[in-house]
Structure 1
Amino acid sequence: MKKTSLLHKIDFLLFGWIINLAYPQYYRPKYGYQKYYILFFHFLIPQKLFRLNPKINWPVHFTSKIVAPENIKKGVLCDPGDNPGIYIQANNGIIFGNNIEIGPGAKIISSNHDISNFRKHILSKPIKISNNVWIGANAVILPEVEIGENVIVGAGSLVTKSIPPNSIAVGNPCIVIKQKEPYSEDFSIIKFNKRISKEFKGFSK
């Protein structure tokens, strides 16, 4: 156990400060979540050196694509695009809460093309995804959808309408199949990789 702890500390000392500097919006447990050297070689170098999603201030997998990241607002324990094959299009804005997991291959699309002119996008309300949400692999979330707190969206689901809080929803089209028990993780015991800003203090306590 001491050996593992020491390795984690060395990893943070060698690579953690670089990750914190390069990704100002990366908030995760300081130890035991993702090794910093993996973030450095598998995420930071493709993003910053090879210019794959270079303007994004959190880790994005080199096989994922984020369009209009300037229209994304996100919380802590949330790094949209950190799994393989994710596509996020935020032309109309996407608001992510805290503690959100997005499975490989998921698609989140905030604006549709105008059917009379494919070069134009239709203006609409932003997508909103609340706290403690898990979006399964290959799920697709379409414009104007709002997902409430404490929701699981099943793998492969097509989400065309908003989902209420405390729900498990699956299918094409996605529908609620059962209620979900309250989320129970104690965030107050997490030691984060950097100081949490004031706007997230209430969530992490």
Structure 2
Amino acid sequence: MKKKFIKKIYIAFSKLIIPLFYDKKYLKGRHFDNNIKGWYWCWRNLFMQKIIGYNRTCPFPVSFRNEIGQWKNIKFDIDDLNNFQHYGVYFQSWHCDITIGKGTYIAPNVGLITENHDINNLDQHNEPEPIKIGKSCWIGMNAVILPGVCLGDNTIVGAGAVVTRSFPEGNCVVGGVPAKKIKSLETINDNND
């Protein structure tokens, strides 16, 4: 009984203070509605993000250990705010979109790169290309997704993989350097037929 009361007070206090620092549209969903986790992320990130300045302009809580290029170019479902709470994830979205499908999980130390240096002149960049990750994907630790890559729904990217080309068909496991299709996955619906 006492824990429930403390949780209610914590959430009520958070609902009063946190909207002063973060956009209200990001303070809802599975991590906030009757859940303490989202509010905890806000409090944990508040000092480093809003006062010290790591990812300061982001209107949602982001771990200071991540790098967000341009938050406006990242498209994601509010229920997947957990992807911004790890460490070492590099969202290079300065000039191009990164779209992350609903239910996708991104492990720590992942790089999502929308533009590379020109190999003939390292002071220049190639034209940026968007990254699109489908629904219910899992990007393993230390993986790198390069410009223009599209991953279909239910794609698993193995830890340490460097994904240089698209796998739009989805329902597969990819891994290696450069990443190749390792195996196909049956979807839950296929198993029920």
TM-score by length of 1: 0.77
2:67 is aligned to: 65
Q: 1:85 to 1:167 in 2, by over 3 A?
A: same
2:137 is aligned to: 133
SS at match of 2:166: coil
Is 1:180 the counterpart of 2:191 in the alignment?
Answer: no
Query: Per-residue displacement from partner, 1:65-110 (whole Å, max 9, x unpaired)?
Result: 1112232222232234321111110132211221221111111101
Residue pairs, 1:111-190, within 5 angstroms = 111-163=115-167, 164-182=169-187
**Which segments of 5 or more consecutive residues in structure 1 lack a partner in the other structure?**
185-205
Q: Contact 1:77 / 1:100 at 8 angstroms: preserved in 2?
A: no
The structure that has the greater radius of gyration is 2
1:192 is aligned to: none
1:82 is aligned to: 85
Query: Per-residue displacement from partner, 1:49-68 (whole Å, max 9, x unpaired)?
Result: 11110111222111111112
Q: Contact 2:11 / 2:36 at 8 angstroms: preserved in 1?
A: no
Q: Which moved more, 1:51-60 or 1:102-111?
A: 51-60
Q: Which fold has the larger relative contact order, with Cα–Cα distance below 8 Å and residues 6 or more apart in sequence?
A: 1
Name the CA distance, whole Å, in 2 between partners of 1:183 and 1:77. Answer: 21
Q: Contact 1:92 / 1:123 at 8 angstroms: preserved in 2?
A: no
**Count of aligned pairs:** 182
CA RMSD after TM alignment? 2.4
- Aligned partner letter, 2:8: K
Q: Contact 1:86 / 1:107 at 8 angstroms: preserved in 2?
A: yes
1:56 is aligned to: 58
1:12 is aligned to: 11
Q: Contact 1:133 / 1:150 at 8 angstroms: preserved in 2?
A: yes
Name the CA distance, whole Å, in 1 between partners of 2:183 and 2:5. Answer: 44
Q: 1:28 to 1:180 in 2, by over 3 A?
A: farther
Measured after TM superposition, the shift of residue 8 of structure 1 is 3.5
Is 1:93 the counterpart of 2:97 in the alignment?
Answer: yes
Q: Contact 1:47 / 1:60 at 8 angstroms: preserved in 2?
A: yes
Q: Contact 2:91 / 2:112 at 8 angstroms: preserved in 1?
A: yes
Q: 1:171 to 1:42 in 2, by over 3 A?
A: same
Measured after TM superposition, the shift of residue 47 of structure 1 is 1.0
Q: Contact 2:27 / 2:38 at 8 angstroms: preserved in 1?
A: no
Q: Contact 2:41 / 2:85 at 8 angstroms: preserved in 1?
A: no
Q: Which moved more, 1:61-70 or 1:22-31?
A: 22-31
Moved over 6 A (4+): none
Q: 1:154 to 1:7 in 2, by over 3 A?
A: farther
Name the CA distance, whole Å, in 2 between partners of 1:86 and 1:106. Answer: 5
- Aligned partner letter, 1:25: Y
Q: 1:183 to 1:19 in 2, by over 3 A?
A: farther
- Aligned partner letter, 1:41: W
Q: 1:122 to 1:182 in 2, by over 3 A?
A: same
Measured after TM superposition, the shift of residue 168 of structure 1 is 1.9
2:42 is aligned to: 40
